[in-house]
Structure 1
Amino acid sequence: MHKHLLFFLAFSCSFAMPSIAQKSCVMRFLNEQKWNELFPNRYGVSTYKDPKRAAAPAIDFYSFQAFCKAAKQFPNFLNEGKEADRKRELAAFLANAAQETSGGWDEAPGGYFKWGFYFLEEQDWSKTHNNYADTSKKNWLPANGVSYHGRGPKQLSWNYNYGQFSEAYFGDKDSLLRHPELLATDPVVSFASAIWFWMTAQPPKPSCHDIMIQKWIPTTRDSAANRYPGFGTTVNVINGGVECGLANPKKKTQNRYAYYLYFCKYFKVDPGKNADCNGQKPFNF
């Protein structure tokens, strides 16, 4: 217990005394004005009357400040590789998060791309996946009476992901296994869950961070499956079993690619090679 408390206190101190590198990681490319321009319809800000939401959110949940506070706790995020690599990493992170949380449609006011970070939780989650509880994962057994459906920028789901993130963030697995709703009530924890997933390799999958900064070296098996550094492989890590290796990509996958190109253009960087996963085999095959 004492060890976990020390871990949490040390972790929390990053808010009070960020290093120079930590302070500049996001601010190098973004500020609050740009954030508001990119995400004018985010959860807690949009004035759109949506029947899917029972009440208007009380706070600007996906605020720029919350993103920055979470990013400070991951000093290598947007802070490795060449300048172009860092811009592509930011574009890739935002593209995946914006698509995961998008409330946009083709004729949406302002255009589809202006509706990223619209949803906080997975829509209609109760109809599928038995609360996303996998009892075969003995190290992170689900608690009774809670659901591990998608929440936050990454829409983190499944008990084993909540448990692993809880261990990394709080120093114990039970904080989020017992209270997964924290990802929908604490903006900084919510953003941190997305960045943690982005930065963490789960073999045989590399981390999305290492993919985008070209630190990841594909194995012979990866090469045979046509998996190489580029945005497409981050999609494979996140949702490859559903979205990759398809002759006719799904609409949401096409939107994910389009988001990436949109953000690359915004940050004035070439999208690089392997920007889709159409020809890739998923990691779990």
Structure 2
Amino acid sequence: MQTQRTDALALRGAMVLARARTSPARRVCCLVTNSNGCCSKYGYCGISDAHCGSGCQAGYGSCNSGGNPGAAAVTEYISSSLFDQIFLHRNDPACSSNGFYTYDAFVTAAAAFPGFGTAGDAATNKRELAAFLAQISHETTGGWAAAPDGPYSWGLCWIQEGMKTPADQMAPYCAESAEYPCAPGKKYFGRGPMQLSWNYNYVPAGQALGFDGLNNPDAVTQDAVLAFKTAIWFWMTPRNPKPSCHEVMAGTWTPSPADVAAGRLPGFGLTTNIINGGLECSGTGTIHGQETDRIGYFARYASLFGVSTGDNSDCSRQQHY
């Protein structure tokens, strides 16, 4: 989720729906557009304890009920040792993330999202996890062509965009509006595994996850569990007319006639289209350099999980949304 990203981060319309209020018509969004979230007793959608705990309205989404069996299933597919093998150099001294991203933080974050990496059969679940981890690896890569252990062993090298660039030198990433204002002195550059960027993403992410995205965007860099939650939230949340990346990789999304005509078919390539199609999915048949990196990570991780990459791994022949 970089500076140039023009489409994947434009979540304004769909993410407004995550701000469900108290009327029955608004509460339905918890079930329809935020099916992996909860509807709080006040009618707001999200996944924090305040949303899913006491007073959670079970008729409009998921509520906590003494544990999340889906989270346990994630650990069936990715162990601590496999996590270390996947992110072989995340604690390299050259990486700004050194010591930040942990297996326990990832598993804890996954526990907040029923269905994440657990919605299908074993092969489908492993492929989804490989796809998610590949996308966040590209967004935070510290690899290069001749890197030790190869370019695809350096995922999760960044906590924030620019690695070691001082925050006061970063662009503000502010697109001010009445719906999504910008707080004085705050900057909304990329942070976390999916490099959450722009004020109009921080605000709904904060509302869904229980942090003040408007006034405290740095919270994403201070709490590894929250950092992973922002990435999984992005992965799990559909943005009209786009499906969620989760729906694509879990096999629950069916392309419309317009999608088929545009070449947008299920597979890893469509998750790239959802994330950054405006820059990487030209429809010309030429694979963009950034997409090559994403595919490289995905191929390595799928192999480590013992599954195939499936069909449509690139988006070169897809029209972007």
- Work out whether the TM-score is over 0.5: yes
> Contact between 2:281 and 2:319, CA under 8 Å: does it hold in 1?
yes
- SS of the residue corresponding to residue 33 of structure 1 reads helix
> Contact between 1:104 and 1:115, CA under 8 Å: does it hold in 2?
yes
Does residue 19 in structure 1 map to residue 35 in structure 2? no
Equivalents in 2 of 1:8, 1:194: separation in Å? 15
Does residue 241 in structure 1 map to residue 281 in structure 2? no
Q: CA deviation at 1:7?
A: 8.0
**Structure 1: tracts of 5 or more residues without a match:** none
Partner residue, 1:69: 108
Partner residue, 1:90: 129
Equivalents in 2 of 1:218, 1:149: separation in Å? 32
Partner residue, 2:147: 108
Structure 1 residues 140-149 or 240-249, which shifts more? 240-249
Does residue 133 in structure 1 map to residue 174 in structure 2? yes
Question: Given residue 139 of structure 2, which amino acid in structure 1 is its aligned partner?
Answer: E
- SS of the residue corresponding to residue 93 of structure 1 reads helix
Partner residue, 1:164: 204
Partner residue, 1:200: 237
Equivalents in 2 of 1:247, 1:271: separation in Å? 19
> Contact between 1:25 and 1:75, CA under 8 Å: does it hold in 2?
no
Equivalents in 2 of 1:16, 1:38: separation in Å? 32
> Contact between 1:236 and 1:277, CA under 8 Å: does it hold in 2?
yes
Alignment partner of 1:99 out of 119, 122, 138? 138
Partner residue, 1:142: 182
Alignment partner of 2:290 out of 252, 264, 267? 252
Deviations along 1:199-229, one digit per CA (max 9) or x if unpaired, are: 0001011100000011111112211111011
Partner residue, 1:267: 305
- SS of the residue corresponding to residue 263 of structure 2 reads coil
Question: Given residue 32 of structure 1, which amino acid in structure 2 is its aligned partner?
Answer: S
Partner residue, 1:47: 93
Equivalents in 1 of 2:64, 2:218: separation in Å? 22
Alignment partner of 1:78 out of 101, 106, 117? 117
Q: Across the two proteins, how many residue pairs are aligned to each other?
A: 267
Question: Given residue 166 of structure 1, which amino acid in structure 2 is its aligned partner?
Answer: G
> Contact between 2:287 and 2:315, CA under 8 Å: does it hold in 1?
no
- Relative to its length, the structure with more helix (as a share) is 1
Deviations along 1:9-63, one digit per CA (max 9) or x if unpaired, are: 44587999523332x2321111111111221321xx2134x7xx6xxx6x62110
- Percent of matched pairs sharing the same residue: 37
Distance 1:207 1:250, change over 3 A: same
Question: Given residue 146 of structure 1, which amino acid in structure 2 is its aligned partner?
Answer: K
Equivalents in 2 of 1:94, 1:155: separation in Å? 13
Question: Given residue 262 of structure 1, which amino acid in structure 2 is its aligned partner?
Answer: R
> Contact between 2:287 and 2:314, CA under 8 Å: does it hold in 1?
no
- SS of the residue corresponding to residue 315 of structure 2 reads coil
Equivalents in 1 of 2:296, 2:308: separation in Å? 14
> Contact between 1:150 and 1:156, CA under 8 Å: does it hold in 2?
yes
**RMSD between superposed Cα atoms in Å:** 2.6
Partner residue, 1:35: 83
Runs of 4+ in structure 1 displaced over 3 angstroms? 6-17, 124-128
Does residue 151 in structure 1 map to residue 200 in structure 2? no
- SS of the residue corresponding to residue 240 of structure 1 reads helix
Partner residue, 1:226: 263
Structure 1 residues 178-187 or 237-246, which shifts more? 237-246
- SS of the residue corresponding to residue 180 of structure 1 reads coil
> Contact between 1:11 and 1:73, CA under 8 Å: does it hold in 2?
no
Equivalents in 2 of 1:126, 1:232: separation in Å? 35
